Amino acid sequence: MSNPDKHTQEAPASGSVSKEPSAHPFMEMAKVVVARPEFVSFLALILLTLFTACYVDFGHDGAARFLTLDNLTNITRQVAVAAILAVGMTFVILTGGIDLSVGAVVALTSTLMAGAIIGGVPFWGACGIALLVGVACGVFSGFFVARFALPAIIVTLAMMEIARGLGLLYSGGNPLPISFEYGFLARNLSVGGFPVPIPTLIMLAMFLIGYIVLNRLPIGRYIYALGGNEEAAILSGIRTRHIKMFVYVVSGFMAAVAGIIQTARVTSGQPNSAIGFELDAIAAVVLGGTSIAGGRGHIVGTLIGALLLGVLNNALNMLEISPYAQRVVKGGVILIAVLIGVLRKTGKK
């Protein structure tokens, strides 16, 4: 009785569970794709790309500037930091939490890393320090959220202030410049003859890790379960406190990775950098169709959301729209995309 694999042997060869309908596999798949919440953002991404391409590239002078390999890879470089934060944010939001501290943690890890390099620590050692600090910030937030059931928004607001303050204290409020050669992580790597930005590669690696953890490992399922119904998760034997701790640690770790890239990009530790990055990360997650209440969503959506924000930024620049107006447009896009998502959902019922 105690052998858990016994079910496998007892399972009838043809149970009452039939396979999926297989009449038109392609149509079925298309239907599923269209029904997904992140489809709205995906469509917006395609349309925005096409529109900008038509307007910028086939406009007055006929010289392509937007739809070029150079520009597109550049966009991925630009979104890398926010997108990596969004990976961690997806974990947190799926449990029904939120992490407002990630921008400040980017600044803190970046400052400490630059400080370490200036103090003679080898580059990879400094990266290690950054990661440890990021994880420690996650442990701090996770501890208070998991152990004392404090609201995540309060705990991470406190963490944000603390991290920001520690960065300023350590650096005396000044940027800590490091030698230009430490910026190699922000440069390109030749992949099969194409120059690919290293931040892009790191970003893709983080998404891959996030994808595997959320969709292939038991703990991923527990994260969805916790966000979907906490009481049911507890009674089903899931150690929900561990899971909560875990998601904030992941978020802190991702913030540190983003901090390392940030340091390389500006070849300095800037205690005042990355202000408001947490909001970009949240925007990417929400645009990606993840429910802010937890339990529903997908990390691939987050990637789409992050890319949409990046393309939007880039396109608005090319269209020579003032940076002030750009923020208005960005706010509108977030609102409309989420609104359409909600309307589609309620419309189905």
Partner 1 sequence: MLEMKHITKRFPGVVALSDISLSLGNGEVHALVGENGAGKSTLMKVLNGVYQADEGQIFIDGKPERPRNTREAQRLGISIIFQEFSLVPYLNAYENIFLGRELLTGLGTVRYSAMRGKARAALEAMNVLLPLDKPVAELTVAEQQFVEIAKATIFECSYLVLDEPTATLTPLEVKKLFEVIRRLQSRGVGCFYISHHLEEIYEIADTVSVLRDGRHVFTGPIGACSQNELISRMVGREVTQAFPPKRPAETMSKEIILDVRALKFEESEMLAFQVRKGEILGIAGLVGAKRSESFLALIGRNHATHKEVYLNGKPCGISSPAAALKQGIGYLPEDRKKSGLFLPFSIRANIVISKLDTLKGMFGFVSARKESDLSAYYVERMRIRTTTDRKMISELSGGNQQKAIIARWLATKCQVLIFDEPTRGIDVGAKAEIYLMLQELAGEGLGIVVISSDLPEVVGIADRVLVMRYGSIRAELAGDDINSEKIMYYAAGGE
Which residues of the shown chain bind partner 1 in the complex (CB under 8 A)? 1-2, 4-5, 7-8, 10-12, 15-20, 212, 216-218, 221-222, 224-225, 228-229, 231-239, 295-296
CB of 235 to partner 1, least distance (A): 5
CB of 86 closer than 8 Å to CB of 102: no
Q: Which is nearer to partner 1, 21 or 119 (CB)?
A: 21
Q: Which is nearer to partner 1, 74 or 229 (CB)?
A: 229
Q: Which is nearer to partner 1, 7 or 60 (CB)?
A: 7
CB of 155 closer than 8 Å to CB of 144: yes
Residues 6+ apart with CB under 8 A from 267: 177, 178, 179, 180, 182, 183
> C-alpha angle 307/158/151, rounded to 5°?
80
CB of 6 to partner 1, least distance (A): 9
CB of 298 to partner 1, least distance (A): 11
Amino acid at the residue 246: F
Measured CA to CA, the distance from residue 80 to residue 198 in angstroms comes to 9
CB of 258 to partner 1, least distance (A): 26
CB of 181 to partner 1, least distance (A): 37
Q: Which is nearer to partner 1, 1 or 23 (CB)?
A: 1
| 188 three-state secondary structure | strand
> C-alpha angle 191/192/198, rounded to 5°?
5
Residue 268 has phi, psi (to 5 degrees) of -170, 165
CB of 305 to partner 1, least distance (A): 19
CA distances in angstroms from 51 to 44, 114, 272, 273, 316, listed in the order given: 10, 41, 36, 32, 11
Q: Which is nearer to partner 1, 5 or 181 (CB)?
A: 5
Measured CA to CA, the distance from residue 289 to residue 189 in angstroms comes to 32
| 260 three-state secondary structure | helix
Q: What's the DSSP call for residue 19?
A: P
CB of 290 to partner 1, least distance (A): 11
Q: Which is nearer to partner 1, 191 or 232 (CB)?
A: 232
DSSP β-ladder status, 188-191 and 194-197: antiparallel
Q: Tokens 């790309």: give the residue.
A: 49
Q: Which is nearer to partner 1, 96 or 252 (CB)?
A: 96
